[in-house]
Amino acid sequence: MHIILASQSPRRRELLERMGISQFDVIPAKGEERADPSLTPEQLVEALSRQKAAEVAAAHPDALIIAADTVVAVDGAVLGKPRSREDAADMLKRLSGREHTVYSGLTVSWQGRSITQHEATTVRFRPLTQADITHYISTGEPMDKAGSYGIQGYGCTLVEGISGDYYNVVGLPVCRLSQILSGFGVEALAMAAKKEL
C-alpha cells in the first residue's frame, strides 16, 4: 500500500516513523487553507485536515493519505503561527500562567473512503517573565509553531503540565491515528514488529 503523509512537518514525519510506519512519501498539500471563521477550533482542524487530504488524494487516487492540522486555542480564540516577533510575544503573554488547549484534526483517506477525527490536549504554562519571552523568541523556535511554542524543543521549559496526549501537542496524535489506520487495515505495531525481525 502506498502511504502519503500530506504534511511538510518534520515532527509529523518523525512521529509516523516512531509509530513503526517507515515506508511512506511526504507530499504536502499546497493549496491555500480556507476555513469558515465561525467554526469552533475542533471543527476548524477537522475541516483543514479534510482539505489537505482531499487535495493530495486528487493527485494520488490510489494512495492512503494521512493529513493533519494543529492549532492552539485560548479563551475561544485560535492562535496560529506568529506573523512577527511581536506577534509571538503577544501570544506567549496570553498563554503565560494559564491553561490552553491544543487541537489536532486528522483525516485518513483511501479508495474513496475517509475518516476525520480530532484530539484535544490541555496544556498549562508556568508564569513567564518578559526575559523568558525575549530569550525564547531569540532562539527562533516560536516562529513556525502554532501558539508560538514547541513543547518538543526549548518550549518544554515553559510547560508546567499537560492533560491528554503529549504527541498531539507535538502535532500528531499517534494513538488516535493508529486506531484510525487500523480501520483501513494498516497496523502500525505489526509493521514495527516486522521491521525489527
**Catalytic amino acids?**
69
67: Cα within 13 Å, side-chain hemisphere: 27
Distance CA 137, CA 86 (A): 9
Place of cell 480501520: 183
Geometric angle at alpha carbon 7, from 192 and 52, rounded to 5°: 120
Please name which of 186, 173, 81, 47 lies closest in space to residue 119, comparing C-alpha atoms: 173
- Burial of 174: CB neighbours in 10 Å, binned 0-12, 13-18, 19+: buried
Q: Which amino acid is present at 46?
A: E
